[in-house]
Amino acid sequence: MLYSAGEVELVKNSTDIVSVVQQYVQLKRAGNSWKGLCPFHKEKTPSFIVFPATGTWKCFGCGAGGDVFEFLKKIKNQEFPEAVEELAEAAGITLKGDGTSGLSAGLSKGLFEIVDEAHRFFRKCFAGPEGSKVRAYLKGRDIDPAESGIGIGYAPGGNALLKHLRSLNYSVSVMGDAGLVITDRGDPYDRFRERLTFPILDRRGRVVSFGARALGDAVPKYLNGPETAIYRKGSFLYGYSTALKAARESGIAILVEGYFDHARLVSAGFSETVATSGTALTKKQAKNLMGMAEKQYICYDGDSAGRKAAVKAAEILLAQGAYPMIVRLPDGMDPDDFVKNRGREAFEELLRSAYDPVSFCVSLIDGKLPEGPERIRLAERLLEVAVSSSNPLVEEDLQKKVEEFTGYSRDALEKKGNEIRSSKERTGYIRKSAGNLGSGDTIVLRVATAGGVYNTEFVDFLRTDDLTTELGVRLLNAFRGQIDRGFSSVVPAEFPDDLSARCADIVWALEGVSPQEIQKLKRDITRKRRELPRLRELQEDLASSDPERKAIALEEFADMKAEDER
């Protein structure tokens, strides 16, 4: 969803940044600003400052900074539209969107409402007489729904949900759009029937769909809701919204596969646990997991399929720049079984003894090095894992482990690793430098956005050739894009992450710039970045043996001199 400049600026101007930040950071007044410990890196002396007058924040320790949208994006790992929507809801502002992208706000709201109503219905059924067999089932598994706090419900049979929603005047069409009712196979009927339900929440804590487990012999045993306009399976981690705070506090995030694995670990006090809901980890989910905490632990089932899936998940995380650890469970056990039978302390010990991805693979063969062709195949597989990393330091660390275990030389492994890398379709981002912004470009862009407000006249004056770095050109184009859409103030949170991160040292660095200073900068740009390069070209033309080329150069040189004298 794209929102208009007017809507975004209305939300921003209606939001007290101090009140928002105080929900996550303990702040103390320091003159006209507020100070606290940065939530984005560990520190003992407060270097995180909030400036109410400009509606901005800045950490002078780690360099992060931005406006209230950028703060929510970072602290809750949200996308920009999600941050706008959350703040709009808190301010009582109804968003319409500009109609250029995504789902209309009205339809989106309707889907959230009907799915939430379904969740309330399932919870009511769970607590009522019809939910007795579900409660008995959970008791048999030694799971207390109250301890897990995940809102387990029960979907009865007999099209009970369909009838309930009809009684509230919801249309069958909307029920189908929300994934609650199947409408394309004759008469409509409930998708979830006689199943225990797990609510799937988005990052704002809104119910968007359900996972469900059959209580009898129905197949499939586990059933997930279909993709809808508000639910994309590959974008959500089950339990994310409730695990985020705990992960930030503990510094770790634990990834499991199933709903009951998640319920067991959360009940045991591992609140930083999330699940893939039985599907393969996606790039989007990996990024969300990395945004939760600095350390990621993969804890999948202790069978062949689970261990293969764990290595695959590790490769996806490596491709995003992470350095995940893999927990090895005893053969045949899953996280639910292990914690139930051996307890919290035993699981904590497993976390402490977790393996890096290469060492985990080695552990599966009990550290025994095969000979001949088997040794070569093993080395190649270990290298595949190592070169999955998009972080050269992580890759080197993993390659050292391959070298230590296999005994092959560094040169041979690097050569083979390069072959694997070139032939393998990379699942992560392409490694490239973040790019530098020269001091000259920094000054130009600071003036263009002084005080967080666009100087449109100065931006119009600028040419992309006036900027000497690729990053500077990208930022200028991003600024122009917002101006073209009607923004008067800069909203960096809307930009791609690499650009918004650089804006902290640009957009609010200057409170204001006088007209005289702007005119001087324009003259400097004209002379140093436009005329001087052209003068060098003209000097080359004047030295040319071509009479026509020399004559044209003389004429242009005279024009430039006359213009300068004026």
The packing angle between helices 283-292 and 304-319, to 10°, is 80
Q: In this structure, what token pair is assigned to residue 386?
A: 């190592």
Degrees (nearest 5) of the Cα angle 134, 135, 139? 115
Lowest mean pLDDT among 226-240, 305-319, 425-439, 504-518: 425-439
Residue type, 148: S
51-79: average pLDDT: 89
Would you state the structure tokens that stand for residue 233, as one six-digit string? 């399976």
Residues 6+ apart with CB under 8 A from 508: 51, 54, 56, 58, 65, 451, 452
Q: 253 with 295: CB under 8 angstroms?
A: yes
Tokens of 72: 């929510």
Q: Are residues 551 and 479 in the same domain?
A: yes
pLDDT, tens digit (0-9, with 9 covering 90-100), for 65-76: 999 999 998 888
Domain-embedded: residue 315: yes
Q: Shortest CA distance to 47 belongs to which of 33, 32, 62?
A: 62
| CATH code for position 24 | 3.90.580.10
Q: How many domains does the chain contain in total?
A: 4
- Quick one: tokens of 352? 């402490």
Work out whether strand 252-256 and strand 273-275 pair parallel, antiparallel, or are unpaired.
Answer: parallel
Range of the domain at 214: 105-230
Q: Is the pLDDT of residue 129 over 50?
A: yes
Residue type, 171: S
Using the 3D structure, point to which of 326, 354, 382 is the last residue of a domain. Answer: 354
Tell me: pLDDT of 561 over 70. Answer: no
Q: Which two tokens stand for residue 543?
A: 């030295």
If asked whether residues 166 and 68 sit together in one domain, one would say no
Q: Is the pLDDT of residue 429 over 60?
A: no
Q: How far apart are CA 475 and CA 133, in angstroms?
A: 59
Q: Are residues 193 and 291 in the same domain?
A: no
Read off the CATH number of the domain in which 128 is found: 3.90.980.10
pLDDT class of 541 with cuts at 50, 70, 90: low
User: Which strand (E) or helix (H) includes residue 534?
Assistant: helix 532-542
pLDDT for residue 78: 82
Q: Please give the average per-residue pLDDT across 207-220, as a whole number.
A: 90
Return d(Cα 59, Cα 75) in angstroms, integer: 13
**Order of all β-strands in the sheet with 222-224:** 153-155, 195-201, 207-214, 222-224
Residue 481 resides in a domain? yes
Report the alpha-carbon distance of residue 51 to residue 365 in Å, rounded: 56
Confidence band (pLDDT; 50, 70, 90) for 544? low
**pLDDT band, very low/low/confident/very high, at 156 (cuts 50, 70, 90):** very high
pLDDT at position 426 over 70: no
Residue where a domain stops, chosen among 354, 386, 403: 354
pLDDT of residue 540: 66
Q: What is the pLDDT of residue 433?
A: 36
More confident residue, 423 or 382: 382
Across the chain, what does the average pLDDT equal?
87
Among the listed residues 268, 208, 196, 280, the one whose alpha carbon sits nearest the alpha carbon of residue 240? 208
Q: pLDDT of 468-517, one tens digit each?
A: 888 899 999 999 999 988 898 999 999 988 888 888 788 888 888 899 99
Backbone angles phi, psi at 556, to 5 degrees: -70, -35
Distance CA 149, CA 126 (A): 14
Paired tokens of 279? 């599907």
* Domain-located, residue 425: no
**Tokens coding 151:** 């809102």
pLDDT confidence tier of residue 439, bands split at 50, 70 and 90: confident
Q: Which of 406-420, 461-475, 544-558 has the lowest mean pLDDT?
A: 544-558
Which of 22-36, 130-144, 245-259, 495-509 is predicted least confidently?
495-509
- What is the rounded radius of gyration, in angstroms, for the C-alpha atoms of the chain? 29
* Cα(555)–Cα(63) distance, integer angstroms: 50
Residue 497: predicted pLDDT = 82
302: helix, strand or coil: coil
pLDDT at site 208: 93
> Which pTM value belongs to this model?
0.70
In 3D, which of 414, 502, 539, 535 has the Cα closest to residue 66? Answer: 502
Answer whether residue 361 is part of any domain: no
Q: Is residue 122 part of a domain?
A: yes
16 in helix, strand or coil?
Answer: coil
Helix (H) or strand (E) holding 295: strand 295-298
Of the candidates 554, 8, 77, the one whose C-alpha atom is nearest the C-alpha of residue 285 is 77
Predicted confidence at residue 99, as pLDDT, reads: 40
Whether residues 318 and 292 share a domain: the answer is: yes
Place of tokens 């320091």: 30
Q: Is position 119 within any domain?
A: yes
Residue 326: CATH number of its domain: 3.40.1360.10
Backbone angles phi, psi at 519, to 5 degrees: -65, -40
323 against 32, higher pLDDT: 323
C-alpha 52 chain-centroid distance:
27
| Percent of the chain whose predicted confidence (pLDDT) is above 90 | 54
Give CA–CA dist 22/371, Å, rounded: 60
Q: How many CA atoms lie within 13 A of 376 on its CB side?
A: 4
Domain for residue 363, yes or no?
A: no
User: Which DSSP letter does residue 464 get?
Assistant: G
Tell me: pLDDT of 446 over 90: yes
Please report the pLDDT score of residue 102 as a whole number. 44
Structure-token pair, residue 200: 């799937």
Highest mean pLDDT among 346-360, 433-447, 448-462, 494-508: 346-360
pLDDT on residue 100: 43
- Say yes or no: 27 and 129 in one domain: no
Six-digit token string for 404: 């230590």
Q: Which residues contact 332 (CB under 8 A, 6 or more apart)?
A: 302, 303
Do both 520 and 543 map to the same domain?
yes
* Minimum mean pLDDT range among 36-40, 362-366, 557-561: 557-561
Of 560, 536, 533, 540, the closest CA to residue 463 belongs to 533
Residue 240, pLDDT above cutoff 50: yes
Last residue of a domain, one of 354, 379, 395: 354
Q: Do 110 and 224 share a domain, yes or no?
A: yes
- Residue 410 inside a domain? The answer is no
Structure tokens at 219: 């197949």
Q: How far apart are the C-alpha atoms of 327 and 261, rounded to whole Å?
A: 14
